Amino acid sequence: MSYSLSKEQVTIRESIIKFALRELNSNLMENEEKGYFPRDKWKKCCEMGLIALLAPQEYGGCGEDLSTLLHALQALSYACKDTGLVHSIVTQIVCLKKIALYGTESQKQMYLPPISKGEKIAAQAVSEPEAGSDVLSMRTKAIKSKDTFILSGTKTFVSNAPLADVILVLAVTNPERRQFGGISCFIVEKDTNGCSSGKPFDKMGLRTLQLGELFFDECSIPTANLLGREGQGMIIFNELIEWERALLSAVHLGTMERVLESCLKYAKTRIQFGHSIGKFQSISNKIADMKINIELGKLILHKISWLKKHKKRATLESSIGKLFISEALKKACTEAVQIHGGYGYMKEYEVERDLRDSIASTIYSGTSELQKNIISTLAGL
Indicate which residues carry an active-site annotation.
244
Q: Which long-range contacts (CB under 8 A, 24 or more apart) does 302-310 make?
A: 302/1, 302/3, 302/67, 303/1, 304/66, 304/242, 304/246, 305/65, 305/66, 305/67, 305/70, 305/246, 306/1, 308/65, 308/66, 308/242, 308/243, 308/246, 309/65, 309/66, 309/67
Distance between CA 215 and CA 196 in Å, rounded? 5
- Please state, in angstroms and rounded to a whole number, the distance separating the CA atoms of residues 155 and 139: 9
Q: Which residues pair with 300 in a beta bridge?
A: none
Closest by Cα among 331, 167, 342, 169 to 252: 331
Q: Which residue type sits at 212? A: G
Q: How far apart are the first and last CA of the chain?
A: 30
- Compute, in degrees rounded to 10, the torsion defined by CA atoms 326, 328, 333, 336: -170
Q: Look at the alpha carbons of 317, 320, 326, 328 in this order and tell me if their dihedral is positive or negative.
A: negative
Give the residue among 15, 199, 168 at the shortest CA–CA distance from 97.
Answer: 168
Q: What angle do CA 158, 164, 165 make, to 5 degrees?
A: 145
Paired sense of beta strands 166-172 and 122-125, if any: parallel
Tell me the CA distances in angstroms from 161 to 53, 164, 211, 285, 372, one per residue in order: 23, 5, 6, 41, 29
Measured between alpha carbons, how far is 257 from 269 in angstroms, rounded to an integer? 19
